[in-house]
Amino acid sequence: MSASRRLLVPALLGALVVGGAPPASAASTPYTARDAAKHLRVGAYAAGTGFSAARFGRAWQDVDRNGCSTRDDVLRRDFGRTVRFRRTGSCVVVAGSAASFYSGRKVALSAAHPAAVVVEHVVPLEQAWRSGARSWSPAKRAAFANDPLELATADAASVRARRGRDLTSWRPASRTRACALAGRETAVLWKYGLSATAKEKALLLSLLSSCPRQSLVLAGPGVDAPARPGMATSTPVQQPAPPVVPGGPVVPSPAPTVPAVPTTVPVPQPAPVPAPTPTPTPAPAPAPTPTPEPAPPADPAPPSEPVPPPVPDPPAQPDPDSPVPQPDGSVLVSTVKALRTALAAAVPGSVIDLADGTYAGSFDAKADGTADAPITLLGGRGAVLVGTSLRSGSVLTVTGDHWHVVGLSVTGGQKGVLVDGSQGTVLEDVEVSGSGNEGVHFRGGSADGAVLDSYVHDTGLQEKKFGEGVYVGSAVTNWGKYSHGLPDRSDRVRVEGNLIARTQAEGVDIKERTTGGTVAHNAFLDAGTSDENSADSWVDVKGYAWSITDNSGSGTFADALQSHRVLGGDAPGEPSGEGNVFSRNTVSGGVPGYVVRIEKGANGVTTNRVTCDNTRTDGSAEISNVACG
């Protein structure tokens, strides 16, 4: 378990309960961008009144006093060995090339294309203004606008497409570049303590879930501007002729020189003078012979009709009802039909990228991935699977093995997500809400699964007694229906790092004969409030050898954490509701009973262990009904 996950839940709970948020200078610096994104302060955008770029000072200042403008510093950093300067010893960049931070494509600066490259603000200045920079001093705003961390070299087309919008309105098409932008933006927000909207934070977490190793880089190579170029490394570049400006005067090119070709011209000669001829004696003229008339000329052949060139077929337009292959090997889907097609066609290693939008219906993930090549279904919070009835059906049913569902939202349905007979399926950073009964259910021997860093809330809208947030296994009375009459061994399921709120039944219900799972680092808010069908706690453990640790929260009907013995589920060596460990859990209020209540056996003995570091901060002394140890 990472340190970041242990930090997340208390901070998130504090933000929701008392409006607090962890400062950017937290004692434990996150190791990854995703860890940092979890701690970003959430806040709505303030009004943009008074904003102008001039509020951030004169453009491209020399804030590090190295004699070079910030723009030249950043170009020098990103162009690397391809950089060329105006003259030897100068730091004014006039040429070079780099991969665009937005598209990844090569972009080149030259005198012929001076506007092809843009030094772009990763967090748009207006976004920064509305997220907290308005209250800064002019000096801090100038430092922000000229911080190399906040600046990147990009292609002009992508900059025009972004138009200063935040990530919820625009992001790079490539997942790799979207990850890089999400990581850099998280670093900027973290460093300067700027807030993110709830939607933006969810999107950052979603994007970074697909690249969990994206580092949080605040300084160093690739971020800091390099030292000013020295005489030995500077390479002057010869300036080409200025380009022709569209609409400006056109200077004709000189005519090509053609070598003279000698030509012979005939010179007229004087006509010869004829010698005198004797006059002949005239003879009688013969009868004239009639001259035949010439035949009329033949009609000329009609000119041939010109053959028009073949008309090319119009380019094929992508079918919105078909998955669209992406350069990185994933497929992008944007309709219900395309999603169902992609789910049916998935193979180990497939990545299905769900575009923002509403997808109404029920969806089945039946294909099998592998432990080394899981099948990934991912999207942002704006990609919403919507059930059509609270009385029947699950919105997303996973029966295949090794699925990784990341980032998207699921709402409605009798169940939100049903993991049924699936091995190794993980739900990460998803939002599940508004279900008729359970939010998430692992059953039918769905072992080694997990719900991680997700938001499960407002469940049990149809039947309160079945409105658990996360339900693991099956009651003994349902083994005949879901596990062929045998115990439902949905073992080793992890429920970690989640916010579970406003669930009518338990936040987490762990059924008999499941073993070896963990419920850790979760925040509970008003979970288990209905008291219907004994729904009166955050967590109810009827399994064996579970670890319930580092959870916190407020609000429930009776106790925060409970264990119950279900005799019908007992078996030698694995008695239900026994052998579990409860440690380092904290109640902050709204819990009238114990932090941990243990149901003992008939002889008053239990094999459950309640450690002495379970606490509460609401002034009550009710920690447990058994001695700690």
pLDDT (tens digit, 9 = 90+) per residue, 172-206?
988 889 999 999 999 999 999 999 988 888 889 88
State which H helix or E strand residue 97 sits in: strand 93-99
Phi-psi region of 484 (alpha: psi -120 to 50; beta: other; left: phi over 0): left
User: Average pLDDT, stretch 525-533?
Assistant: 90
Domain range spanning residue 135? 33-210
Q: Indicate whether 424 belongs to any domain.
A: yes
Does residue 609 register a pLDDT over 80? yes
The 10 Å CB-count burial string (b at 16+, else e) for 39-75 is bbbbbeeeeeeebeeebbbeebbebeeeebbbbbbbb
Give residue 307's pLDDT. Answer: 57
pLDDT tens readout for residues 560-594 = 999 999 864 455 667 889 999 999 999 999 999 99
Pairing of strands 117-121, 151-155: antiparallel
CA distance 535 to 328: 46
Q: Indicate whether 249 belongs to any domain.
A: no
Q: Indicate whether 580 belongs to any domain.
A: yes
Which of 190, 210, 230 represents a domain boundary (last residue)? 210
* CATH number of the domain to which 363 belongs: 2.160.20.10
Confidence grade of residue 168 (pLDDT, cut at 50, 70, 90): confident
Confidence grade of residue 514 (pLDDT, cut at 50, 70, 90): very high
Per-residue tokens: 166: 């935040």
Identify whether the C-beta of residue 536 lies closer than 8 Å to the C-beta of residue 571. Answer: no
Give residue 315's pLDDT. Answer: 55
Give residue 264's pLDDT. Answer: 36
Give residue 88's pLDDT. Answer: 76
24-38, 190-204, 510-524, 607-621, range with the lowest pLDDT: 24-38
CA distance 335 to 507: 33
Which of 171, 192, 210 represents a domain boundary (last residue)? 210
Give residue 59's pLDDT. Answer: 85
Give residue 268's pLDDT. Answer: 39
Q: Indicate whether 11 belongs to any domain.
A: no
State the total domains in the chain. 2
Does residue 537 register a pLDDT over 80? yes
Helix/strand/coil (H/E/C) assignment for every residue in 535-590:
CCEEEEECCECCEEECCEEECCCCEEEEECCCHHHCCCCCCCCECCEEECCEEEEC
Mapped onto helix, strand or coil, the DSSP state of residue 443 is: strand
Give residue 574's pLDDT. Answer: 75
pLDDT tens readout for residues 120-159 = 999 999 999 999 999 999 999 999 999 999 999 999 999 9
Identify whether the C-beta of residue 552 lies closer than 8 Å to the C-beta of residue 584. Answer: no
Q: Indicate whether 494 belongs to any domain.
A: yes
Which of 180, 210, 240 represents a domain boundary (last residue)? 210
Q: Which of 409, 520, 407, 500 is nearest to 458 (CA)?
A: 500
The pTM of the whole model exceeds 0.75 = no
Q: Indicate whether 313 belongs to any domain.
A: no
Mapped onto helix, strand or coil, the DSSP state of residue 196 is: strand
Looking at residue 20, what DSSP letter applies? Answer: -
Identify whether the C-beta of residue 21 lies closer than 8 Å to the C-beta of residue 42. Answer: yes
Give residue 295's pLDDT. Answer: 52
Per-residue tokens: 565: 């013995």
Helix/strand/coil (H/E/C) assignment for every residue in 331-380:
EEECCHHHHHHHHHHCCCCCEEEECCEEEECCEEECCCCCCCCCEEEEEC
Q: Indicate whether 512 belongs to any domain.
A: yes
pLDDT tens readout for residues 247-302 = 333 333 333 333 333 333 333 344 444 444 444 444 444 444 455 555 554 455 55
Per-residue tokens: 278: 């004797």
Mean pLDDT of the chain: 82
Residue 172's CB is within 10 A of a number of other CB atoms, namely: 23
pLDDT tens readout for residues 393-444 = 999 999 999 999 988 999 999 999 999 999 999 999 899 999 999 999 999 9
Q: Indicate whether 311 belongs to any domain.
A: no
Identify whether the C-beta of residue 166 lies closer than 8 Å to the C-beta of residue 186. Answer: no
Looking at residue 32, what DSSP letter applies? Answer: B
State which H helix or E strand residue 480 sits in: helix 479-482
CA count, 13 A, side-chain hemisphere, 147: 24
Give residue 281's pLDDT. Answer: 45
Give residue 531's pLDDT. Answer: 87
Give residue 548's pLDDT. Answer: 97
